[in-house]
Amino acid sequence: MDWGLLWSILVCTDPYWFVLVQMNLERVSNEEKLELCRKYYLGGFLLLPFLWLVNVLWFSREAFLAPPFGEQPRIKHYVVRSAVGAALWGLGLGVWVGLFQTRRNQWGALGDALSFTQPMGEP
């Protein structure tokens, strides 16, 4: 294991850390890239939004920076839609967490039932 790479990812000392975590797609044909990108895009609809994030991280270089090839427009299509889906899920999760953290006490028994730990009394 490359501990230097792991350390740079964890500490984010490299300004291009997202490039470090990309999958090596050089040995994969363009058709296989398109099929894999499509599978990750469709997998995001199975309530697995992290697949959309992985799709964006892995295929953004192929979609926007690589020299043009036949499958690139469809890969770009999947990458952009995956980014939008991941952003909407992140926004929704952020709103839910904010509401839950600030209004759990007002929800009474429902707020307690939704909590992982059962709080004792009110703050």
Domain ranges of the chain: 3-114
What's the confidence (pLDDT) of residue 122?
A: 65
Estimate to the nearest angstrom the gap between the alpha carbon of 123 and the chain centroid.
35
- Lowest-confidence region among 9-13, 34-38, 81-85, 94-98: 9-13
5: left (phi over 0), alpha (psi -120 to 50) or beta: alpha
| Mean pLDDT score, 86-91 | 96
**Residue in this structure with the two tokens 């799709």, named with its chain if needed:** 55
> What's the one-letter identity of residue 32?
E
Question: Looking at the predicted structure, is the pLDDT value of residue 68 above 90?
Answer: yes
- Which pTM does this prediction carry? 0.72
List of residues 6+ apart from 5 with CB closer than 8 A: 20
3-class secondary structure, 51: helix
At residue 118, does pLDDT exceed 80? no
